[in-house]
Structure 1
């Protein structure tokens, strides 16, 4: 039997396809490995601490703040700020003013 020889064009095309596939796989792997999920622990103690952080940020600012401003000033995530704001709303310690949060 006679073996069929691969032409230069065919060999180059196969090599290019393999390299492109390898590059896509490497890129996909890098994207998934850099994405980290933040875990939020929902306990009464944690909610109380976040409420304290939010309250201190509002007291230091002496004015109404938006959600993002509170999170930045308190150095906590937006999700933690929401948790603390909910706690303080329930206790009646804060109020809403022009779509911002202020001490009651």
Structure 2
């Protein structure tokens, strides 16, 4: 009887370990979206940022702009760089609005 219980515990411990390693392997895989960086695509992202700020009619953070425009944070920053260089937007307290 004693031997049976010890064996059952070992089997249960091995099963738990396998599940844990399977989960870690699944979580580690992550898709990465890419897009071409050129004047045309960055210009489109700038347009997305400009339209989002125009509709909002208030200052928004980078994360808020990205969420509202449905683009990534990196794409938002590229578009904002374009608009900042042209003087179309300005920043105040880590938020941005139309100039």
Q: Could you state the TM-score of these two structures normalised by the residue count of structure 1?
A: 0.74
List runs of 5+ in structure 2 lacking aligned partners. Answer: none
Distance 1:52 1:17, change over 3 A: same
1:86 aligns with: 81
RMSD: 2.1
Q: Could you state the TM-score of these two structures normalised by the residue count of structure 2?
A: 0.76
Residues 26-37 of structure 1 correspond to what in structure 2 (within 5 A)? 26-33=22-29, 35-37=30-32
SS of 1:96's equivalent? Answer: strand
List runs of 5+ in structure 1 lacking aligned partners. Answer: 1-6
Distance 1:62 1:11, change over 3 A: closer
Pairs aligned (count): 97
